[in-house]
Structure 1
Amino acid sequence: MDVSHILDELNDAQRQAVTVEAPHCLVLAGAGSGKTRVLVHRIAWLIQVEHASPMSLLAVTFTNKAASEMRGRVEELLQIPSAGLWIGTFHGICHRILRRHADEAGLNPNFQILDSDDQYRLIRRTIREMQLDEGEYPPRVVQGFINARKDDGVRPDHIDPGGNPLTAQMIEIYRTYQAACERSGLVDFAELMLRTVELLRDNPARLQYYRNRFGHVMIDEFQDTNTLQYALVRLLAGGEDARLFVVGDDDQSIYGWRGARVENVQHFVRDFGPEVVRLEQNYRSTRTILEAANRVIDHNDDRMGKNLWTEGEEGEPIRVFAAYNEDEEAEFIIGRIQDWVESGRRPSEAAVLYRSNAQSRLFEQALLRADIPYRVYGGLRFFERAEVRDALAYLRLVHNPADDAAFERIVNVPARGIGERTVAGLREAARTRDRTLWDTTLHQLNTGALGGRARNALAGFVELVRGLAEEAEATDLGGLMNRIIERSALIEHYRAREPADRAEARQENLDELIRATENFEPSIEDEQAGLSPTASFLTQAALEAGEHQGEKWEDCVQLMTLHSAKGLEFPLVFMAGMEEGLFPHQKSTEEPGRLSEERRLAYVGMTRAMELLYLSYAESRRLHGQTLFGRPSRFVGELPAGLVQDVRPRLQVSQARAPREHGGGLPSLGSRVSHAKFGAGTVLSVEGQGENARIQINFDDAGPKWLVAGYAVLERIG
């Protein structure tokens, strides 16, 4: 049989994987090594060479897009329709099984699927019907609790509250919510998986049917499987004649925060004893980029191990840029993108990657100023994010009480007991009197037209806004925004209502909004028009929010988080904010396993680059309302010196001498230095020049000290 169309375009390792004869196989597919090609050609090999029935193949991946791509490539390669193939996501496959066996699974045959928003609303209704306080049991937090338990395969009766009343109540909400789903014939996404596992686990005949049906089970992105997904794989592939073929990369497991278990790769090796095939030839990046990524990921323990390589060109060195602050960092990156575009390359070939969504604002502003189209991949532009709009609504109402839209947005955010019925009454009264909502509220408070609870709640809201308006008279715009976020308790509001990772992202965006107001300078045109700084800032925010970002089909620079970048590739990549505490994130040093995942995230980011890779960090950065002097990320320090080129020499103390001995050079902000008496510390400030300059250093043990440069003998450390 002629198999050239299946094997000729494959390299040796890919051929080994496609033609493997062992019952079970683990394909460790490095970044850019052609894993989708291997899966598609494996399906072709099984059908055309091993004469497997298409009906006996089950191929599972993580996104509908990936499943659709795989199905299309199989059709193109085999020239046969793929309708008989079971190719889909875990949830899609489980839905297909449950539709066929709803009665056996204890489901209404006409069950409906709850999406995430519908699930949230049902949980919220359940909490209200149980007469519980949403502040104490926020629906988003409860939703996360329920889904996490289901992803672990756990029903309410199997959870031990451990004597914790809060946990015990969460379990009861879970039980009540699930009962409501059963009554209404509703199934959430996590339930699709759990119900399928229970169906197969508790029904030997049905399990045997699917084991006989699917002689070949193939799983893509195996490193992203959670506990329940791995349980399903073990059930389906547990028969004597089963053949399990999984493709994954433990070095690209970056979703632990949403339940993925990188240890499943090791568990698979332990449970199934597969043949292991490593795909290490990369078809995306230059040798320099790959070598640098290899050396960074080598610092992680407990890897299966592989070493990416390419037959491609050596490529340019990795550029490292040390900016004075985040503004200079953004200007530098956008300047390089301008050079790229002016050289004839396309904007869409460039991507800016960052650890935190809040970092996007500066790049958005700089791109707008440069008139370069851009798109925030997988997310909203900064001024369109809900928490930013909430804070700006407070600022708008303080600035202009007649702003009815702002009033309605934040009158009950955070929740203060002002329901929709009360707002509707205010709206109707305002329409009747032809006055604003603010004026109508004051009128009803003064005339006693409101009931006790609504009256007290609205009086508290009015007092809050008036107090902020008084503070606006005595502080600048940055100080006012700081007070708005503090006194409105928006951060506490999100912490109470949402899972920790989402609440943290919202706080980072609010911190960035404070920074934006602190650094804002009105345009000459706004000043000439007599606009106050507040009015000018609100105008700019509205205009930036109104500037529609590029559509998917447009030629735009791509802005995205490192998590969103997985699976993508770009000729020119910038990884911004490479500082300790930002990336790796501060919390990664506090939780077991998090630092390894942060390093895998750095590896993923680096391997997105095809031709040029820039890493940048700022010596000082405004975060959480403070100017922080950070150190370069350890991931920058893990790069081999021979592969790196400093775009500008990294600023540091070069030699431990008094200024008069080396021409008056002074240490830079953020430098780590050592003093004979006070020990190690970080340079916070430098005032003046030469040997009479004053240097403020925050010593690790002795605290902040001012030293005179001419007498402070400092040595560089780190």
Structure 2
Amino acid sequence: MKSTEWVPSKGIDLEPNADIACRLTGQSAAVTAGPGAGKSELLAQRASFLLETGECPLPKRILAISFKVDAAANLLSRVRARVRPELARRFDSYTFHAFSIRLIRRFRLALSDANALDQDFTIGPDRIQRRQITFDEFLPLASEILENNAAVLRALRETYSHVFLDEFQDCTNNQYSLITNAFKGTHIHLTAVGDTKQRIMGWAGALEGIFATFASDFAAVPLNLYQNRRSLPRLRRLQNRMIANMDPTAAVPEDRIVGLGGTIDVCRFDTADQEAAHLFEWIKQRITAGIPPSQIAVLFRNQPGLYSQPLVAQLARAGLPYRNDQQLQDLTVEPLSRVMLAFLTLATGAQSAAAYESISGLLEGEDDEQTFRHHRAWDEHLRAARAAVSRRTTEPAVVGRLIDGFINLIGANILTTLSSGYDEARVRQLSAELTERIQEVMASSGTDVAGAVDRLGYGGGVRIMSIHKSKGLEFEAVAVPAVEHEMFFGDAESVYAAYFVAVSRAKNHLLLSCADHRQAPDGAPQTWKARRRPHYGLLVYAKDLEGGWISE
């Protein structure tokens, strides 16, 4: 098949930048995207293009490296569903650790001196010279093999024509070293795809962090996927209008976004108290309709603690659960804290797919048998943890025992892989801080372990946070109060980028509001401006998409 004849799989509608990424030849690509943009499907479609058009010619193969077992399996299953079996057999999908241990087992003779290994070496918690290596040594040993043996490196490079890197924003130093040792400076083309939690909008192709390093090292073309396909059509049309303004080539014709699903409300009020009263009723209606409070977010560009005071007062009086993420500081957004809270959520008896998913990646073994043993140990540990919570649900001390038990089960060395800035000391420090935080919530609110974990973790109430903290998250319903010049000020790029982040967090319902007068809340600075002006430059994107319009 000629490259010009290739079309995406039936039922797959690629946005312009995704189509460019799929068809790219002769270059590497750095593809950044927000939630719901279809990153895994993009890689599956790119594999289809490369294999079906001969851009990956026989006997070359495609190597895909993911961070989690389920992600690697999901990508492989997608490719098998998209291309013929004889082509799919040339697609290899591994995690970083699975890829590394394959290199070690196949080329262990390339290791020498202190790192030399016997043929029957094992993997365990401690290093035993020649006989046993630890999980943490997989990547460094694989890199050493590639650095010290030109024949092995040549064999690897002759095997693959293309490499995919999924969830690339989580790449650690060891993982990136392995990639550069293996493929930098070759004719192999890499496609790195990742979530843009640090920078939602790649304005003019701007990249940050690991993506910027990758683009420089591999001369990669920067592409950004904007369309959140989890949002209902009315919300997608609003987002697409902003995309057309910010990155015209990435927008799709509006008539391609069909359907009337989703709601957008645009409201103007005389005072902030009136705005808060309306917002409270809007939240209550959605909770009554069955949306969990934790799936409702109220986003402010700045100072959510000040701007949310009228709303928080009403939520508190009504007994509706809420959590002010700004007050929680950064502890609960640490990767380790999220995993710990996922465990505690399950230990208190809650059923949460997201919590299970957070744990599953930590149970990966070097092969299917070891992964099975890890899952079996996890199941036994979770049953014991649930029994302990049910007996001592009001005892603060049980929290520390649960967290210590979880660390012992998973291994502090494994937990350090959650962030490039972690070592075992940091793992212990964050665990102690989280234990203390949960116990403080229990003491201050009179709730039990389940209630405290629910407030901090995967349950919780209505989320009140800054737009910046919402990056990478999605909610069924999102409210963006104070869409005013006094809130959205500064250079146009940062203003529109922040607003796009806010409106693209919503999947089903979006409320945009402003007020003509905002009385200074408790703790407001002297520079607080009571008189307000609606920011029509932002609100206009919702015009004709909602039930009415506010006067200018």
TM-score by length of 2: 0.56
1:393 and 1:633 map into 2 onto residues whose CA distance is 45
1:153-174 residue CA offsets vs partner (Å, 9 max, x unmatched): xxxxxxxxxxxxxxxxxxxxxx
Give the corresponding residue for 1:196: 142
8 Å CA contact 1:55, 1:84 repeated in 2? yes
CA shift for structure 1 position 74:
1.1
Does 2:500 align with 1:602? no
Q: Give the match's secondary structure for 1:42.
A: helix
1:42 and 1:331 map into 2 onto residues whose CA distance is 45
Q: What one-letter code is carried by the residue in structure 2 that aligns with 1:232?
A: L
8 Å CA contact 2:162, 2:189 repeated in 1? yes
CA shift for structure 1 position 33:
2.7
1:277 and 1:242 map into 2 onto residues whose CA distance is 19
1:220-249 residue CA offsets vs partner (Å, 9 max, x unmatched): 222221222222111222353322222234
2:105 and 2:43 map into 1 onto residues whose CA distance is 27
Q: What one-letter code is carried by the residue in structure 1 that aligns with 2:289?
A: W
8 Å CA contact 1:294, 1:308 repeated in 2? yes
8 Å CA contact 1:58, 1:218 repeated in 2? yes
Q: Give the match's secondary structure for 2:263.
A: coil
Distance 1:6 1:504, change over 3 A: same
Give the corresponding residue for 2:355: 378
Q: Give the match's secondary structure for 1:109.
A: strand
Give the corresponding residue for 1:70: 75
Give the corresponding residue for 1:475: none
Distance 1:716 1:20, change over 3 A: closer
Q: What one-letter code is carried by the residue in structure 1 that aligns with 2:295?
A: A
Distance 1:83 1:645, change over 3 A: closer
2:278 and 2:401 map into 1 onto residues whose CA distance is 35
2:239 and 2:120 map into 1 onto residues whose CA distance is 50
Q: Give the match's secondary structure for 1:672.
A: coil
Give the corresponding residue for 2:41: 37
Q: Give the match's secondary structure for 1:276.
A: strand
Give the corresponding residue for 1:612: 477
Q: What one-letter code is carried by the residue in structure 2 that aligns with 1:507?
A: E
1:645 and 1:72 map into 2 onto residues whose CA distance is 38
CA shift for structure 1 position 386:
9.4
CA shift for structure 1 position 13:
3.1
Q: What one-letter code is carried by the residue in structure 2 that aligns with 1:316?
A: T
* Residue pairs, 1:353-368, within 5 angstroms: 355=325
Does 2:524 align with 1:672? yes
Give the corresponding residue for 1:103: 109
Q: Which runs of 5+ in 1 are unaligned?
A: 120-179, 255-260, 298-302, 342-346, 365-372, 396-405, 414-494, 521-540, 550-557, 563-573, 585-598, 618-631, 654-666, 675-679, 682-713
2:214 and 2:332 map into 1 onto residues whose CA distance is 38
Residue range with higher mean Cα deviation, 186-195 or 211-220: 186-195
Does 2:31 align with 1:27? yes
Q: Give the match's secondary structure for 1:59.
A: strand
CA shift for structure 1 position 192:
0.9
Q: What one-letter code is carried by the residue in structure 2 that aligns with 1:612?
A: A
Q: Give the match's secondary structure for 2:192.
A: strand
Q: What one-letter code is carried by the residue in structure 2 that aligns with 1:33?
A: A
CA shift for structure 1 position 22:
1.9
Distance 1:392 1:56, change over 3 A: same
Tell me the number of residue pairs that the alignment of Structure 1 and Structure 2 aligns.
Answer: 398
CA shift for structure 1 position 209:
1.4
1:287 and 1:514 map into 2 onto residues whose CA distance is 45
CA shift for structure 1 position 284:
2.6
Give the corresponding residue for 2:458: 560
Give the corresponding residue for 1:91: 97
1:305 and 1:227 map into 2 onto residues whose CA distance is 35
2:471 and 2:165 map into 1 onto residues whose CA distance is 23
Q: Give the match's secondary structure for 2:137.
A: helix
Does 2:432 align with 1:503? yes
CA shift for structure 1 position 512:
0.9
Distance 1:329 1:57, change over 3 A: farther
Give the corresponding residue for 2:375: none
Alignment counterpart, residue 263 of structure 1, candidates 183, 196, 209: 209
8 Å CA contact 1:318, 1:613 repeated in 2? no
The alignment yields a C-alpha RMSD, in angstroms, of: 5.7
Q: What one-letter code is carried by the residue in structure 2 that aligns with 1:69?
A: N
Q: Give the match's secondary structure for 2:222.
A: strand
1:263 and 1:270 map into 2 onto residues whose CA distance is 11
CA shift for structure 1 position 335:
3.8
1:329 and 1:374 map into 2 onto residues whose CA distance is 32
CA shift for structure 1 position 633:
12
Q: Give the match's secondary structure for 1:181.
A: coil
1:606-634 residue CA offsets vs partner (Å, 9 max, x unmatched): xx24x6324699xxxxxxxxxxxxxx999
CA shift for structure 1 position 645:
4.2
Q: What one-letter code is carried by the residue in structure 2 that aligns with 1:192?
A: F
8 Å CA contact 1:575, 1:614 repeated in 2? no
1:652 and 1:62 map into 2 onto residues whose CA distance is 47
Between the aligned residues of both structures, percent identity stands at 20
* Residue pairs, 1:510-549, within 5 angstroms: 510-517=439-446, 541=448
Q: What one-letter code is carried by the residue in structure 1 that aligns with 2:230?
A: R
CA shift for structure 1 position 385:
12
Does 2:165 align with 1:219? yes
Distance 1:387 1:205, change over 3 A: farther
Q: What one-letter code is carried by the residue in structure 2 that aligns with 1:97?
A: L
Q: Give the match's secondary structure for 1:65.
A: helix
1:329 and 1:104 map into 2 onto residues whose CA distance is 68
CA shift for structure 1 position 332:
7.5
* Larger RCO (alpha carbons 8 Å, 6+ apart): 2
Q: What one-letter code is carried by the residue in structure 1 that aligns with 2:97?
A: H
1:386 and 1:636 map into 2 onto residues whose CA distance is 49
2:118 and 2:45 map into 1 onto residues whose CA distance is 39
Distance 1:100 1:561, change over 3 A: farther
Does 2:85 align with 1:80? yes
Does 2:292 align with 1:340? no
Does 2:56 align with 1:112? no
Distance 1:216 1:561, change over 3 A: farther
* Residue pairs, 1:193-592, within 5 angstroms: 193-251=139-197, 263-285=209-231, 311-312=256-257, 315-317=262-264, 335-341=284-290, 351=295, 355=325, 375=352, 377-378=354-355, 392-393=394-395, 498-517=427-446, 541=448, 560=458, 576-578=463-465
8 Å CA contact 2:62, 2:163 repeated in 1? yes
Q: What one-letter code is carried by the residue in structure 1 that aligns with 2:72?
A: A
Higher-Rg member (1/2): 1
Does 2:66 align with 1:58? no
Distance 1:358 1:250, change over 3 A: closer
8 Å CA contact 1:358, 1:512 repeated in 2? no
CA shift for structure 1 position 83:
5.2
CA shift for structure 1 position 112:
3.3
8 Å CA contact 2:32, 2:195 repeated in 1? yes
Residue range with higher mean Cα deviation, 18-27 or 60-69: 18-27
Distance 1:499 1:244, change over 3 A: same
Give the corresponding residue for 1:144: none
CA shift for structure 1 position 266:
0.9
Q: What one-letter code is carried by the residue in structure 2 that aligns with 1:245?
A: T
Q: What one-letter code is carried by the residue in structure 2 that aligns with 1:199?
A: I
